Amino acid sequence: MNRLRLSPMGIEDLDDIEQIERLSFSTPWPRQAFLKELCENRLARYFIIRDGDRAVAYGGMWFIMDEAHITNFAVHPGYRGRGIGKMLLKGMIDYGTSNGMESFTLEVNESNHIAIGLYSGMGFVKAGVRKGYYSDTGEDAIIMWLRL
């Protein structure tokens, strides 16, 4: 764990990010979507947890006024259960608050109990449901908020 560090995501990390996406989601974001986020979206802030020279987790958020919308979040399956998700989420929240964000929101798949536990443990609370939000499965999303 002492080799792990939080850093901004760069284009050079996209091979690792694509692998994490494929291993984590039934409908992964394409590389081009991440490129657009990194190079064109002025609202976007993306971070990784690096183990040596390899990205093993990533998270992205959009800064909209004083709210941060967490858009992406995943940990490589081989690194789960080690507190890396918590490290990443805390780093994102710390970065957001130091840049004027007063609240954070996200959607999470209703069956993803591990992620819901992580978010709840960091102070996020359920605020609603988006019916059929996930087009690949038709599953609902739970909307969660952290208000500081």
Can you give the pLDDT at residue 136?
84
The arithmetic mean of pLDDT across residues 21-29, rounded, is 93
* Mean pLDDT of the chain, nearest integer: 96
CA-to-CA dists, residue 109 to 7, 25, 47, 85, angstroms: 26, 11, 21, 16
Can you give the pLDDT at residue 69?
98
pLDDT digit string, tens, across residues 44-103 = 999 999 999 999 999 999 999 999 999 999 999 999 999 999 999 999 999 999 999 999
CA distance 137 to 43: 28
The partner residues of 48 in beta bridges, in order of sequence, read 7, 58
Active-site residue identified among 18, 79, 119, 134: 119
Read off the pTM: 0.94
Pairing of strands 4-8, 67-75: unpaired
Question: How many CB atoms neighbour CB 37 within 10 A?
Answer: 19
In the annotation, is 119 catalytic? yes
In the annotation, is 67 catalytic? no
Q: Which of the following CATH numbers is that of domain 4-147: 3.40.630.30, 2.130.10.10, 3.90.1150.10, 3.10.20.600?
A: 3.40.630.30
DSSP labels, 26-52: SSPPPHHHHHHHHHT-TTEEEEEEEET
Active-site residue identified among 107, 110, 133, 139: 107
